[in-house]
Structure 1
Amino acid sequence: MSAHELAAEMEELLLRIVPGLSEQWQGASPETIAHIERLAGRPLPPFYLWFLRRMGRCMGALAYPSLDFSAERILRCYAEKTIHPDPRFLLIGYESDEMMPLHLFYDFDAPARDDALVTERYANGGELHDRFETLSEMLAWGALLKFRVNTMPQRCEGMLSCDDPDLLSQLDPVMFSLGFTKPITTGPRCGLYERNDAVLICERTPREELLGNQAFTLGGRDAGVLRRLLGRLTTESSLEVEVDEWTPALG
């Protein structure tokens, strides 16, 4: 899939599920984007260029509570030497929580699908805490969680597992047969599935070995819809389902 096609998928998804986004998001100027590219010391990933052009100034309702993805904040952190330029890492999200100030960085040593791996670390370095294989997957996963799954009357979360390391190759056929679609194209570590009455999202930490299990969160119209879906997954595939929590709790 080309960078243009991925951006088109992402734009369709976000404008469809995030209320008022088309009036709220604001892109960064070409000069600002060029400044960030100079700090990176390399061409920016095509998806990040789309992100900056669409919402590099304001993410509207898509904004994260304590993470600032704005180009202005990124440039300020480098100008104030809070973050120092690094050929491998580029700051893309500033964490304002002083208790755990793990900022978001691109890791250019792990490019993927016209994008790059998103990891967390402190400003001065230290241990990496990988989040998603790409920024596009992080944004889509977060948007579906906030604006679809968490708005559903019934939710559950747990673990999917199977003998096949590529779990999504087992999950895809069942989900498609049940009328679900994938709003964006993802890699093997992030599954996103939508239907009018239910949404399932699952993910596995990048760089870890694919071991045939992924954490999932599922939202739906009612508990019956979710139970039927989970039942079909176990009877029509080699997948095993372990539910850890129902919200609200089932009686």
Structure 2
Amino acid sequence: MTEAGIESEPEMEDLLLRIVPGLAEQWQGSTPDEIAQIERIAGHPLPPFYRWFLSRMGQSMGPLSNSTLDFSAQRVLTCYAEGLVVPDPRFLLIAYESDEMMPLHLFYDFSAPIRNDALVTKRDAQGGELYDMFETLREKLARGALFRFRVSEMPQQCKGLVEGAHPDFLSRLDPVMSSLGFTQPIATGRICRLYERPDAAMICDRTPRAGVGNRVTFTLGGSNAGTLRKILGEIATESSLEVLVRKWIPELR
């Protein structure tokens, strides 16, 4: 535990500072008072990861900022102060959506705490149907950064499905990817994996509580189609896994 009760996130910081250009100069954290105000609104201690997030990016996410989603502590506090959102012990607003065509905001769902964090869902400000997004804010942040600054920058990408014979089937993928020289930059849960090596990066995930069985979508980026085919071929040699490629970007000729 560091000062002001903020736990460290060395793996996350290493990943973000390594792959996001200019982040160290541009991210800006909340004040301890802002964090304390949000905790009072929640009515119970904030997840340790969220306290870390606010301490690093609660004023500005720098290059990680989203054009329509505002994660800032000040926006969260303003939404509660103006009555847009009513305090609820189960849900806490963590990002305000400014897109008027689809004004669904991001909330923590504290009924599903996990790994010093909690489930991230989308819903209307006043309530209504939930659209679960990620098991944790940690995975949302890491996945978004890896996709934006590694996968999408690769000359060749492909998307598809990985299916397994066991509920924890992604654990069967780990040794295959390790044998190919990939590392996992952060620890993830049962329905998400992030892999990277110098010439390639891969994201595997699905939405929580989706009920789609032992299946995740994947996005793989690399230096060329041959490299990606080799990676996918090695994954397919694991007898408990099946790989289905649905799209190549750019399309192969």
TM-score range, shorter chain: over 0.9
Letter in 2 for 1:103: H
Equivalent of residue 51 in structure 1, options 53, 78, 81: 53
Find the residue that maps to 2:38 and give its secondary structure. helix
Find the residue that maps to 2:186 and give its secondary structure. coil
Aligned counterparts of 1:209 and 1:114: Cα–Cα separation in 2 = 24
Equivalent of residue 222 in structure 2, options 220, 223, 228: 220
1:169 aligns with 2:165: no
Unaligned runs of 5+ in 2: 1-5
Letter in 1 for 2:173: L
Q: What is the Cα deviation at residue 65 of structure 1? A: 1.9
What's 2:252 paired with?
250
Contact 2:120 2:135 in 1 (8 A): yes
Aligned counterparts of 1:244 and 1:76: Cα–Cα separation in 2 = 43
Farther off after superposition, 203-212 or 137-146: 203-212
What's 2:19 paired with?
17
Letter in 1 for 2:196: E
Aligned counterparts of 2:215 and 2:21: Cα–Cα separation in 1 = 33
What percent identity do the matched residue pairs reach?
65
Deviations 1:158-213 (A, max 9, x none): 10001112121111110111110000001101100001111010112112347211
Farther off after superposition, 229-238 or 45-54: 229-238
Deviations 1:88-123 (A, max 9, x none): 000001001000011000000000000000000011
TM-score w.r.t. the length of structure 2 is 0.96
1:38 aligns with 2:46: no
Letter in 1 for 2:47: P
Contact 1:166 1:210 in 2 (8 A): no
TM-score w.r.t. the length of structure 1 is 0.96
Aligned counterparts of 1:179 and 1:109: Cα–Cα separation in 2 = 37
Tell me which stretches of 4 or more aligned residues in structure 1 moved more than 6 Å.
none
Find the residue that maps to 1:106 and give its secondary structure. strand
Aligned counterparts of 1:67 and 1:75: Cα–Cα separation in 2 = 15
What's 1:157 paired with?
159
Contact 2:164 2:170 in 1 (8 A): no
Find the residue that maps to 1:116 and give its secondary structure. strand
What's 1:91 paired with?
93
What's 1:134 paired with?
136
What's 2:240 paired with?
238
Find the residue that maps to 1:145 and give its secondary structure. helix
What's 2:122 paired with?
120
Aligned counterparts of 1:110 and 1:236: Cα–Cα separation in 2 = 32
Supply the RMSD in Å over aligned alpha carbons: 1.2
Letter in 1 for 2:19: I
The aligned runs of 1:64-79 (5 Å cut-off) are 64-79=66-81
Unaligned runs of 5+ in 1: none
Equivalent of residue 84 in structure 2, options 82, 85, 95: 82
Aligned counterparts of 1:10 and 1:246: Cα–Cα separation in 2 = 29
Letter in 1 for 2:198: N
Deviations 1:28-55 (A, max 9, x none): 0001110000000000000000000000
